[in-house]
Structure 1
Amino acid sequence: MGRSRRPRPRKDPDRPNVNDEIRSRKVRVIRPDEEHEVVDIDRALEIARSYDLDLVEVAPKAKPPVCKVIDFGKFMYEKKKKEKEAKKKQHTVQVKELRFRPNTDDHDLEFKTRHARGFLEDGDKVKATVQFRGRDMLYTERGEELLLDLAEELSDVGEIESKPTMEGRRMIMMLSPTSKG
């Protein structure tokens, strides 16, 4: 009866080769005391064992590949920690939409302008839309005036990315945060 062979789990491409996984005959070994030398792989593994640490391939594309004698678990922990920190500092820009009608009341306009100011200060873009229904189509210039007033009110924190344009029964304008330089 033949044994069924399970496929080997695929190695994570971000994970470097360690100890016996290193396929190169000669490698440049960097010891914990920062000394380095080019030796064959068996000697490199011996050096790693003498320090009771792992041989980790840090630059596989180099000629010869560069391997460091380090604690692999600690190395991966530090790497993941750095990636997490880098991800924390990233900010994805979102587009927040505000909708108006051509006859929007002044109080509502002020309220929505405050929201738009907050969005722009947080680094997000604002898509201001004036929705026209039925006879509102007669007041397209009122809608454009409303959007331009909004842009002027927010000129200290945002700038017009795209001027008001009609798309069907909507007039749309994009505002983006002013670049702080």
Structure 2
Amino acid sequence: MSKNKDTTLLNEEIRFPEVRCLGDEGTQYGVVSSSEALKIAQDLGLDLVLIAPEAKPPVCKIMDYGKFRYQQEKKQKEAKKKQKQIEIKEIKLSVKIAQNDVNYKVKHAKEFLEEDKHVRFRVFLKGREMSEPQSGVEVLKRIWELVEDVAIMDKEPKPEGRYVNMTVIPKPKKVK
């Protein structure tokens, strides 16, 4: 049920006539046959792992593969912890939106920006509005004037198919 299959070749799976063999602590065994490299690994109680199959000759390393995999997974988990997930909230508008509706949508956008979320404003163009995408850009410029005190424009208002999109991000908070 593992979502990412391990495709690393180990021990008997390595079927090259000759391989360049490296030891766990940097020991160089030189170019040897696969069977000889496997015998060295078994004598040391370790695994023979193919690390560079495209090299001439292919490069194998003698190591404790279980320990190596454990350390790799641990590093990946640490990196994932330090990543910051960016959440984008989308606010849909129309060309014929009333000012009180604009104010209501802007109020929500400001709440999202205060929560450190990115906001994408989308104006949907219907029917004949498609021939005048500039009207959608004007709606977004009106909105920008209302949010520019708390946001930075990430992407300018730009027509994309049936939509005119604009993305804003929160202004960095000043650290005291």
Query: Is the structural similarity TM-score above 0.5?
Result: yes
1:161 aligns with 2:118: no
**Alpha carbons of 1:20 and 1:110: their partners in 2 closer, same or farther (altered >3 Å)?**
closer
Aligned to 2:15: 23
Which shows bigger deviation, 34-43 or 74-83? 74-83
Q: How many angstroms does 1:31 deviate by?
A: 0.6
Deviation at 1:28, TM superposition (A): 1.1
What's 1:5 paired with? none
Distance 1:113 1:178, change over 3 A: closer
Partners of 1:81 and 1:48 in 2: how far apart? 25
TM-superposed CA distance for 1:32, in Å, is 1.6
Q: Which amino acid aligns with 1:114?
A: K
Segments of structure 1 that go 5 or more residues without pairing to the other structure are: 1-11, 133-140
Write out aligned runs for 1:1-181 (5 A).
14-36=6-28, 37-88=30-81, 95-99=88-92, 101-104=97-100, 108=104, 111-118=107-114, 121-122=116-117, 124-129=118-123, 147-155=140-148, 157-159=151-153, 161-163=155-157, 172-177=164-169
Q: Deviations over 1:28-47 (max 9, x none)?
A: 11112201121111221121
Give the aligned length.
Answer: 156
- Which structure has the larger Rg over C-alpha atoms? 1
Shift of 1:16: 0.9
After TM superposition, give the deviation of residue 116 of structure 1 in Å.
Answer: 4.6
**Structure 2 gaps, min length 5:** 127-134
Structure 2 CA distance for aligned equivalents of residues 131 and 104 of structure 1: 20
Note if contact 2:114-2:170 (Cα within 8 Å) is conserved in structure 1.
no
| Contact kept in structure 2, 1:26 and 1:40, CA below 8 Å | yes
| Change over 3 Å in CA distance of 1:55–1:108 after alignment to 2 | same
Question: What is the aligned-residue identity percentage?
Answer: 31
